[in-house]
């Protein structure tokens, strides 16, 4: 039993020590390239969503208040009857548009991953490993600095 507990407690540390070496510099460079592309696509989607919000005449304050009310109520069906019908229609249209943008971002990510020969599982594991492994973070920073110097 003691060996089991010891193993269970030490397993994360053993895994972390291996994680920094589990990915090549090429993997990390590909991650950096993907991150740039993904962040650009996210920014474009955010710009589209903000423009649509402006076109639908929904202020940032109205948006925040409605999202908080939606969170409190737990569902659109519970909140919608309490809203002005015109505003509810515009807000619903905006949220549908935002959901479409989000789905496109996911599709774009899948296409980008396929283009470099990565699976979603490999990418997600790399992201989580980077977040948890300071050595891997340092390697990523060093690669990023090299890239900036070469530009």
End-to-end CA distance of the chain: 56
Distance CA 31, CA 52 (A): 31
Claim: this prediction has a pTM higher than 0.75 = no
DSSP 57-126: T--HHHHHHHHHHHHHHSSHHHHGGGS-HHHHHHHHHHHHHHHHHHHHHHHHHHHHHHHTT--HHHHHHH
- Listed by start position, the domains of the chain span 42-116, 118-151
SS3 25: helix
Per-residue tens of pLDDT for the chain, all 151 residues: 545 444 444 444 444 444 667 899 999 999 999 999 999 999 999 999 999 999 999 999 999 999 999 999 999 999 999 999 999 999 999 999 999 999 999 999 999 999 999 999 999 999 999 999 999 999 999 998 887 777 6
């Amino acid at each position: 039993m003691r060996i089991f507990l010891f193993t269970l407690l030490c397993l994360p540390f053993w895994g972390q020590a291996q994680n920094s070496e589990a990915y090549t510099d090429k993997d990390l460079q590909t991650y950096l390239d993907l991150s740039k592309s993904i962040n650009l696509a996210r920014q474009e989607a955010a710009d589209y969503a903000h423009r649509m919000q402006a076109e639908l005449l929904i202020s940032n304050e109205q948006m925040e208040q409605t999202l908080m009310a939606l969170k409190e109520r737990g569902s659109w069906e519970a909140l919608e009857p309490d809203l002005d019908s015109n505003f509810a229609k515009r807000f619903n249209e905006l949220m549908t548009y935002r959901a479409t943008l989000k789905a496109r971002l996911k599709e774009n990510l899948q296409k980008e991953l396929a283009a470099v020969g990565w699976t979603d599982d490999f990418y997600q594991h790399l992201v989580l490993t980077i977040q948890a492994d300071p050595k891997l973070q340092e390697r990523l920073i060093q690669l990023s600095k090299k890239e900036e110097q070469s530009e």
